[in-house]
Chain A
Amino acid sequence: MLARTASQLYWIGRYMERAEFTARLVEATVRLDALSARPAGEGAWESALLVAAVNKGFEATGNSVTPTNVANYLTLSDENTSSIRSCLHMARMNARAVRTALTREGWESINRAWLSISDRTAVGGFQAMLNLVEALKAEIRGFEGALHRMLRQESYWFLRLGASIERADNTARLIDVKYHIILPEGERVGGLIDRDQWGTILQTVSANTAFRWLYRDGLSPDRVVEMLTLRRELPRSLAAAVDEVVALLDALIKRTGFQGEADRMARLRQKRLVKTKAADIIRGGLHEYLQAFISENRLLNQAITRQFRFD
């Protein structure tokens, strides 16, 4: 497979996953905002910018941090290269160039997702935001469905590899939302609002029911952390994403017959995660753990780029 094609497929995977993550982030923020007493609600929007790592870009626009401004920036802004619209635009441009490596359904699902947001001008109020987010999530599920029907060969593996690397990053960021949100005065850690906030994060990764299945008892912060980081049964957990990266790289090794730095890094990371306990993560500081995870993921991305000659 052409290195350029592999790179473009990988980035389609990343952009589609990032679009979905941003949609989920907007959803989480709307809900967290609604939980909090104002002005604490604005904190939710500020933290959303931090989590998506676009806070500097937003500052540069000179706009004030209001729900509408931030939601617009995250969703529709062309200035924000990680906005949902920008992600879908980039995914579509890449998809056009590698149409031969995609199925008809794959192309059509990306094209449709792009068309659904391309001429939207404003996000509207909370209800409209939630509706938009729901619609986008459905479009992206369409892409995942199309992906699932592809032949299991390089094209599929690179699309999925991009998606897995992005998902590892995004889940870590989503858990980290909680770090940035300050509990209202007088609220204690483990208290009602704290638990509600964790519940909201679960909701945005569609994992409420999963939590009850896995734990059968009350929601507690350390269990949520455990599930989102270490439980392989949950497809969006860090552990699941880490496993998937290793499996996809293995599939590529089988096809190409050679391995490299990316394979070693991915396996090392998997081995380490197997031994990790939730209590260790919390003791060392959840935020610090997640930040280290995000940096390592970035290094892995660079190793993949080198190994498959993307540049």
Chain B
Amino acid sequence: MTAGKYFDEIWGYSRGRKPRPGFEKIARWIRDTPKPELRRRQASAEAAFRQLGITFNVYGEEDEAERIIPFDIVPRIFTAQEWASLSEGLEQRVTALNMFLEDIYRDRKIIDDGVVPADLVFCNPGFTPAVAGHRPPHGIFSHICGIDMVRTGADEFYVLEDNARTPSGVSYMLENREAMLRLCPELFEIFEIEPVDRYPDALREMMQSVAPDCAPREPVCVLLTPGHFNSAFYEHSFLADNVGIELVESADLIVDDDIVWMRTIEGRKRVDVIYRRLDDDFIDPLVFRPDSMLGVPGLMAAYFAGNVALINAPGSGIADDKAIYSYMPEIVKYYSGEDAKLPNVETWRCREPDSLQYTLENLADLVVKKVDGSGGYGMLVGPTSTSEQIEEFRDALKANPDGYIAQPTLELSTVPTLTDKGMKGRHVDFRPYVLSGTNGVHTVPGGLTRVALVEGSLVVNSSQGGATKDSLVLRPESNGQSQSQSQSGGSQTQAQSQTG
């Protein structure tokens, strides 16, 4: 696989000969910084992550032991214009997604109007009958959304997946930036970069904004973790610490008369908002899985009584379903009256006979995914699979066509990455985080970029050789780029205030 075939985010299609307009400075930085120096910095970042115990994983690999995900020192860069159109599209999509969730659990207009088939919603394992008819505080379901995106060309961004349940990985966005500020301060002098460290404040403001109406002016917010054996525990404690809220385990909470309390040294203290990092199945053994040891009995009763806000609201997970995903362009159009600004990847729903037939005929060229799968598991990447694997998958697909969708194999963009063979283009994806509260819908300018370290690989999952990169969003240029002296002075203060 040569570099020229794919769109490179710095070099375009020029195979490293000519940077894209606006990317000259970063191209120079990559060329001029000695490789051993970059390697030293990368090792230093990884050593710091290990010492801090940033040992969690991103996408449902709960049984992994303490392990760090590799970090790549070369950042990924979005221009101000690219970011402006991305964030506009993200906010449009997440707004529609929340309206969709509110609708299907209450009035079901979108189904009555024949936009989304009823069986796809009601027979969906992600649909939660227990919450049907209930409106969460302020009508918001998915307060924290992680939208997985890929890019295939200069202006071609696609949404690959919606993560409306409990998206993780945001601590990478913050810790990677910390590492970059410390190890590559010169980058922050070359560019004016949007800070990401507003995220914890934005998260707190969002949480407070969605507190139930009965809550006091300063609502008590907590983060509910499954406990310190959970693989994402570092992220839970990191977020609680930075947002300035209590990190609680299930045993710290009790429900009495439909009110949630936490046990403190001074007795019980009422809780108004819970950012729970437990799946629906485990939050309340009285309503969901009775064998769950993790949950808080009575939590759902308190939720139904309107005494507590749950972030994200139970039932949000249906939006992660890949068959629902395939209807997102129609869903966005239905609720916003506008065309979706961020396109979906072309998707064949195998539940439809024509699509199934097309998929079966073209398995070798397609990516086939389980509608409820994640983490790169249960999927077939046709072009890189053996004929045996394809035939095996064909049988699974025929046995349960409803359980699969198919997409073309995308030519994911590459970003220069420090490899054993020097600086090489490697495929990336991107997960920005969108917050929805009564204070509006916000996207912090940044996100999690994952990169497939294996040459030519399109699978960026950390379990399969993936690493992460910092994602820099450039500030809009004020007036030209010539005044480098004063610019560097300004951004230095910026860098200092971020590290502080």
Closest to A252 in B: B265
Chain A: interface size category: 20 to 34
Q: How far is the CB of B224 from chain A (nearest CB, A)?
A: 12
Q: Per a CB cutoff under 8 Å, which of A4, A93, A100, A111 touches B237?
A: A100
- Assess the B267–A4 pair: CB atoms within 8 A: no
**Residues of B contacting A: mostly:** mixed
Interchain nearest-CB distance for A246 vs B (Å):
18
Q: Are B251 and A4 in contact (CB under 8 A)?
A: yes
**Interface check A108, CB cutoff 8 A:** yes
Query: Counting CB contacts under 8 A, is A37 at the interface?
Result: no
Which one of B51, B227, B228, B266 contacts A108 once the chains associate, using CB atoms below 8 Å?
B51
Complex Cα distance A2/B251, Å?
Answer: 11
Given contacts A2-B246, A96-B228, A100-B247, A256 and B265 within 8 Å (CB-CB) = yes
Q: Is the C-beta of A258 less than 8 angstroms from some C-beta in chain B?
A: yes
- A97-B228 CB under 8 A given contacts A2-B246, A108-B51: yes
Answer whether residue B52 sits at the interface, using C-beta atoms and an 8 A cutoff.
yes
Asked whether any CB of chain B lies closer than 8 Å to the CB of A196, the reply is: no
- Return the CB mask of B254-278 against A: 1 if under 8 Å, else 0: 0000000011111100000000000
A99 is an interface residue with CB less than 8 A from chain B: yes
Judge whether B248 is part of the interface by a CB distance below 8 angstroms.
yes
Contact of B53 (CB < 8 Å), options: A111, A154, A308, A309: A111
CB <8 Å contact, B263 and A4: yes
Bound Cα distance from A149 to B267, whole angstroms: 29
Query: How near does chain B come to A7, taking the closest CB pair, in angstroms?
Result: 9
In this complex, which of B248, B264, B267 has the most chain A Cβ atoms within 10 angstroms of its Cβ?
B264
Q: Known interface pairs A99-B237, A99-B241. Does A4 touch B51 (Cβ–Cβ under 8 Å)? A: no
Given contact pairs A96-B228, A97-B228, A100-B237, A3 touches B52 in the complex (Cβ within 8 A): no
A97 CB contacts on chain B under 8 angstroms: 227-228, 249
CA distance A262 to B53 in the complex (A): 37
Judge if B252 is at the interface, Cβ distance under 8 Å. yes
In the complex, what residue of chain B is closest to A310 when comparing beta carbons?
A: B265
> With the chains together, A257 CA to B266 CA distance in Å?
9
- Asked whether, in the complex, the Cβ of A96 is within 8 Å of the Cβ of B263, the reply is no
Residue of A nearest to B262 (CB): A2
Among candidates B233, B241, B266, B267, residue contacting A96 with C-beta atoms closer than 8 Å: B233
Q: Does A1 contact B (CB under 8 A)?
A: yes
Min distance, Cβ B271 to any Cβ of chain A, angstroms? 11
Which residues does chain A contribute within 8 Å of B263, judged by CB atoms? Answer: 2-4, 309
Question: Given A2-B248, A2-B252, is A309 in contact with B228 using a C-beta cutoff of 8 Å?
Answer: no
Contact A154-B237, Cβ < 8 Å, known A2-B246, A2-B248, A108-B51:
no
* CA gap between A256 and B247 in the complex, in Å: 20
Cβ contact within 8 Å between B264 and A3: yes
Complex contacts, B233 vs chain A, CB 8 Å: 96
CB-defined contacts of A257 to chain B, threshold 8 Å: 266
The answer for the CA separation of A3 and B53 in the assembled complex, in Å, is 25
**Binary interface encoding of chain A residues 102-143 relative to chain B, with 1 for a CB under 8 A from any of its CBs, else 0:** 001001100100000000000000000000000000000000
Q: Which residues of B contact A1 (CB under 8 A)?
A: 264-265
A28 at the interface (CB under 8 A from B): no
Distance, CA A308 to CA B264, complexed state (A): 8
Closest residue to A307 on the B side, CB-wise? B265
> What residues on B are CB-neighbors of A93 within 8 Å?
228
Chain B nearest CB: distance from A9 CB in Å? 10
A6:B265 contact, CB within 8 angstroms: yes
Q: A308 to chain B: which residues have CB within 8 Å?
A: 265
Question: How far apart are the CA atoms of A99 and B241 in the complex, in Å?
Answer: 8
Closest residue on chain B to residue A112 by CB atoms = B51
Select from chain A the residue with minimum beta-carbon distance to B52. A104
> Is B240's beta carbon under 8 Å from chain A?
yes
Q: How far is the CA of A2 from the CA of B225 in the complex (A)?
A: 14
**Chain A nearest CB, measured from B261 CB (Å):** 11
What are 12 A-B residue pairs whose CB atoms fall within 8 Å in the complex? A93-B228, A96-B53, A96-B233, A97-B228, A99-B237, A100-B247, A108-B51, A111-B51, A154-B265, A256-B266, A309-B263, A309-B264
Known: A2-B264, A99-B241. 12 other contacts (CB 8 A): A1-B264, A1-B265, A2-B246, A2-B252, A2-B262, A3-B265, A4-B251, A6-B265, A100-B247, A104-B52, A257-B266, A308-B265
Which A residues are within 8 Å of any B CB, using their own CB? 1-4, 6, 93, 96-97, 99-100, 104, 107-108, 111, 154, 252, 256-258, 308-309
Closest 9 A/B residue pairs (Cβ): A100-B241, A97-B228, A99-B237, A308-B265, A96-B228, A3-B263, A6-B265, A100-B247, A256-B266
